[in-house]
Amino acid sequence: MRQITLLLWFFTGAGIAQAQIKPVVVNIDAAITHQTIRNFGASDAWSCQYVGNWPDVKKQQMANWLFGMDTTAGGQPQGIGLSMWRFNIGAGSAQQGNASGIKDEWRRAESFLEKDSTWNWKRQAGQLWFLQAAKASGVQQFLAFLNSPPVQLTKNGKAFASGGNCNIDPAKYSALAAYLVQVLNGVYTSAGILFNYISPVNEPQWDWSDGGQEGCPYTNEQISGLVRSISSTFADKGLSTKILLPEAGQINYLYEKGDKPGKGEQTNTFFDPHSTGYLGNLPQVQHSIAAHSYFTTSPYNKAVQMREKLAAGIANITGLEYWQSEYCILGDNAGEINGSKKDLGMEAALYLAGVIHNDLAVANAAAWQYWLAISPYDYKDGLIYIDKNKTDGQYHDSKMLWAMGNYSRFIRPGARRVQVTVSDSAALGKNLLISAYKNIDNTISIVVVNNSAAAVDITLHCRHAKLSRVRSYTTSDQGSLAPGNTDITVTNSIRIPARAVVTLAGKS
């Protein structure tokens, strides 16, 4: 077998003449595999309820960007090929209007359940349009999630909590389970979409009492009780939909007690057979544990250490997978980047690519899902940005969309991450990030994130796979998944531009 060596000339200065040239050797071994990749996704909250009713040509273009796998005659990808779509099951705050207590009507959400307890499958029509557009584009995985139980079942009649307390009484768990059965069956009957997964709890560590959006806190004990009830009801009704939990607000709540009593150490709580909250033996529960990467991505060294702890804790549970199920750039991130003010360019895109890399290559995430697919806000929270207009407006793609596409389009469900080692990784740090994946069709995708201000020259070789017909796809200031020359000769030098995310896709 040939050993694949990835030789990189890393320029640390502003120009070649002044820079010190340092060779970096990266070994890729296709025989050493890690996690299986299940999906890359994003959610329809909250804009799709309106954008799904925009003019056809505009909403179809946005759907093409998110789901499309077509290319032009010249090889230019038309979309990022998401393989998972997340659907927000609203709690009914939109029907309540101003009385909901949620000031921003764009953060209210409709419910299929009306005030008079009748079911209306014409509700959430804009979201259903995107759901069906995803299916038409070839998306095969769908997840429905709740930020709050429907207002008919909450303690205070609102879609957000009071005093940081769980907003549903345990006596109503069975009613919520029955409600979910109705929603899943109703969407399947009316729209033809069968949800593979249901996520009944979202960021249970937070108080959700300020009326900023729909939300409901839970303790681990409450989550266990709720999930047992849902699992039992699903089994009785013959539903195949799996329950994903607990979508922790930060990754550290999966492996440590943290600062929220009764809401931490969730990996062991739900999947250690010796735990009183054990749920891993329930057939309706997905054998994965989900968390969000918020507020744990900076500084870089700390982000890596936290993901190493996360991976070690999950590895102690046989067969358990980790899903990163929600992220966008929030907070000040230790001064590295601020989440306020939208950024359509490469600064936000490079930061996002670094988060995806560490979640996949360090935390061993089997799934990676973004938060707002479409945003009307002046934050770094969207892949696509729109005017805050309910019926029509301008829309723009971002480099974050296409940087995510460097992963989602080329790493398909069922792919295995393969071993990559860099000889001088300590010196390189976050300036050069490389991961590699072998798809089930025997294609290999190598994703290179070059954060530096200088180009990198690489030479590819491979162990346990002979790489051929390689083509590059570059997201940078100059292009978005811009295709390079066809059939790169891997024995020659390949240049990775400065401040770029590059996917090298080829046959093995």
Structure tokens at 466: 């002979």
User: Rounded to whole angstroms, how far apart are CA atoms 447 and 450?
Assistant: 10
Give me the mean pLDDT over the 429-436 stretch. 90
Please tell me the predicted confidence (pLDDT) of residue 49.
98
User: Rounded to whole angstroms, how far apart are CA atoms 213 and 372?
Assistant: 14
Give me the mean pLDDT over the 307-333 stretch. 98
With a cut of 60, say whether residue 462 has pLDDT above it. yes
Give me the mean pLDDT over the 327-336 stretch. 97
Q: Tell me how crowded residue 280 is: count the other CB atoms within 10 A of its CB.
A: 16
With a cut of 70, say whether residue 7 has pLDDT above it. no
Please tell me the predicted confidence (pLDDT) of residue 16.
38
Give me the mean pLDDT over the 304-308 stretch. 98
Q: Are strands 500-507 and 443-450 parallel, antiparallel or unpaired?
A: antiparallel
User: Rounded to whole angstroms, how far apart are CA atoms 88 and 372?
Assistant: 11
Q: What is the pLDDT of residues 56-105, one digit of tens each?
A: 999 999 999 999 999 999 999 999 999 999 999 999 999 999 999 999 99
Cα 256 vs. chain centroid, distance in angstroms? 22
With a cut of 70, say whether residue 21 has pLDDT above it. no
Exposure of 300 by Cβ count < 10 A (0-12 exposed, 13-18 middle, 19+ buried)? middle
Report whether 143 contacts 199 (CB < 8 A). Answer: yes
Give the CA radius of gyration of the chain.
Answer: 23
Please tell me the predicted confidence (pLDDT) of residue 84.
98
Report whether 9 contacts 20 (CB < 8 A). Answer: no
Q: For the whole prediction, is pTM greater than 0.85? A: yes
User: Rounded to whole angstroms, how far apart are CA atoms 255 and 264?
Assistant: 7
Please tell me the predicted confidence (pLDDT) of residue 486.
74
Please tell me the predicted confidence (pLDDT) of residue 20.
39
User: Rounded to whole angstroms, how far apart are CA atoms 507 and 441?
Assistant: 9
With a cut of 80, say whether residue 3 has pLDDT above it. no
Q: How confident is the model at residue 17 (pLDDT cuts 50, 70, 90)?
A: very low
Say whether 361 sits in a helix, a strand or coil. Answer: helix
Structure tokens at 177: 């389970």
Please tell me the predicted confidence (pLDDT) of residue 6.
40
Exposure of 97 by Cβ count < 10 A (0-12 exposed, 13-18 middle, 19+ buried)? exposed
Q: What is the pLDDT of residues 221-264, one digit of tens each?
A: 999 999 999 999 999 999 999 999 999 999 999 999 999 999 99
Say whether 441 sits in a helix, a strand or coil. Answer: coil
- Name the helix (H) or strand (E) containing 502: strand 500-507
Give the CA distances from residue 241 to residues 42, 84, 148, in Å, rounded to whole numbers and listed in that order. Answer: 19, 14, 19
Amino acid letter for position 68: G
With a cut of 70, say whether residue 10 has pLDDT above it. no
Give me the mean pLDDT over the 438-466 stretch. 89
Please tell me the predicted confidence (pLDDT) of residue 23.
53
Q: How confident is the model at residue 22 (pLDDT cuts 50, 70, 90)?
A: low
Give me the mean pLDDT over the 190-202 stretch. 97
User: Rounded to whole angstroms, how far apart are CA atoms 22 and 24?
Assistant: 6
Q: What is the pLDDT of residues 264-304, one digit of tens each?
A: 999 999 999 999 999 999 999 999 999 999 999 999 999 99
